[in-house]
């Protein structure tokens, strides 16, 4: 039985900052942000969006009544969750109107959370082939104003329906993984921004890739020529390229050109959204599938997932016949084009806004946010969510 990604939804907030303007405001050469880092725009979440609302908005665009009837497991990967105890998946479960006979959990391992969710979903479908699993990867990345990580922030969510007989990508066996206890990027429970050892994180991202790629090659006998494209976790769009370049001499000139050309396509959405942590790899996959014109069904796509701390995984999938019909490129293009640019000062004001943490009440301006699902306020330490439909 084939199991894999049946649908992919994506949502990013309606505000962004231009990276050239951010570079100038930070006294950096714009070339560093645009070319050296590879980011053109950075999504900014208004106060009415959080990891829950982003995920719900991403899921709303793909779920039919039939999906809602069959989904019996919601797995929410995030590293910017809103509660240390209650799973973000439960808020989303209500906001989407799912049936009560559902397991709903939150999974955490930095940017790896959605991949953990996808692999758990496969196990669940293997046991219950008639059911479907909703896997969410949703985050707002925060390093802080005037930090070296600031240029690699972003906000957004990816929602995937995982099922038997998937319409988009059938995930293959084996998948290979690697874990090491390292401090390359982390966020203590008392901090709303991440701490990072930037250069070390880059080194580990690459060495984990080399490790899992070697394991995968040894287990499968596959080489780079067996892959039409490889998608990478994308904290910023130059990062995956650095890793890919370290193995390109394993293939011939045609192979190098093919993988590099598809890498370019695979960063289309990421370079104008920024790092969405758990969803970043799947946003890259979506970029590749929605923006390429020449990848045929039957092609094998490689996927490299990395979550700081750290866990890396390499796995692959086969594109399914008619997969293009299951995608929504026009809708995503329209959402990205309808966004509003804000100034660096406006972004800084949003970044430094904090919500009450003393039990007092606040009502938020949901009318200023075009999203269907919004955070409407806080009351007695409880977040108040609204689905405008």
Shortest reach from residue 28's CB to ligand CAA, in Å:
7
Q: What is the distance between the alpha carbons of residues 274 and 12, in angstroms, rounded to a whole number?
A: 10
Name the residue with the smallest CB distance to ligand CAA.
36
Q: Please, which residue, 4 or 309, has the CB nearer to ligand CAA?
A: 309
Shortest reach from residue 238's CB to ligand CAA, in Å:
6
Shortest reach from residue 75's CB to ligand CAA, in Å:
19
**Tokens describing residue 255:** 């192979």
Residues that bind ligand CAA (CB under 6 A): 29, 31-32, 35-37, 111, 148-149, 151-152, 184-185, 196, 198-199, 201-202, 205, 233, 235-236, 239, 275, 277, 306, 308
Q: Please, which residue, 73 or 112, has the CB nearer to ligand CAA?
A: 112
Place of tokens 């329209």: 334
**Tokens describing residue 307:** 């979550």
Shortest reach from residue 35's CB to ligand CAA, in Å:
4
Q: Please, which residue, 68 or 238, has the CB nearer to ligand CAA?
A: 238
Q: What is the distance between the alpha carbons of residues 325 and 329, in angstroms, rounded to a whole number?
A: 10
Q: Which residues are catalytic?
A: 79, 111, 233
Q: Please, which residue, 48 or 141, has the CB nearer to ligand CAA?
A: 141
């Amino acid at each position: 039985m084939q199991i894999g990604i049946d649908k992919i939804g994506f949502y990013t907030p309606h505000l962004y900052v231009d990276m050239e303007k951010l570079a100038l405001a930070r006294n950096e050469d714009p070339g560093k942000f645009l070319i050296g880092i590879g980011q053109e725009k950075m999504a900014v979440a208004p106060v009415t969006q959080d990891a829950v609302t982003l995920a719900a908005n991403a899921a709303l665009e793909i779920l039919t009544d039939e999906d809602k009837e069959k989904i019996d497991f919601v797995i929410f990967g995030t590293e910017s969750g809103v509660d240390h105890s209650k799973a973000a998946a439960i808020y989303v479960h209500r906001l989407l109107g799912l049936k009560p006979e559902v397991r709903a959990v939150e999974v955490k391992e930095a940017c790896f959370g959605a991949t953990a969710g996808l692999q758990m979903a496969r196990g669940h479908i293997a046991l219950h082939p008639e059911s479907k699993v909703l896997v969410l990867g949703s985050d707002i990345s925060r390093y802080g104003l005037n930090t070296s990580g600031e240029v690699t922030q972003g906000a957004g969510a990816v929602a995937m329906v995982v099922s038997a007989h998937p319409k988009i990508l059938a995930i293959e066996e084996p998948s290979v993984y690697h874990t090491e206890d390292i401090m390359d990027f982390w966020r203590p429970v008392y901090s709303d921004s991440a701490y990072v050892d930037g250069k070390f994180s880059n080194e580990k991202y690459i060495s984990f890739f080399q490790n899992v790629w070697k394991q995968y090659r040894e287990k499968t006998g596959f080489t780079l020529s067996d892959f039409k494209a490889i998608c990478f976790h994308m904290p910023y769009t130059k990062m995956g390229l650095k890793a890919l370049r370290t193995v390109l001499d394993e293939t011939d000139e045609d192979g190098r050109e093919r993988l590099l050309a598809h890498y370019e396509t695979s960063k289309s959405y990421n370079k104008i959204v920024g790092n969405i942590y758990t969803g970043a790899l799947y946003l890259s996959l979506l970029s590749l599938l929605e923006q390429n014109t020449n990848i045929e069904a039957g092609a094998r796509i490689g996927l490299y997932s990395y979550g700081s701390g750290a866990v890396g995984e390499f796995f692959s999938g086969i594109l399914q016949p008619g997969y293009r019909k299951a995608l929504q490129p026009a809708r995503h293009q329209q959402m990205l084009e309808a966004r509003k640019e804000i100034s660096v000062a406006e972004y800084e004001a949003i970044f430094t806004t904090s919500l009450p943490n003393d039990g007092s009440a606040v009502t938020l301006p949901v009318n200023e946010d075009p999203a269907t699902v919004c955070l409407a306020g806080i009351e007695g330490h409880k977040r108040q969510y609204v689905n405008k439909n």
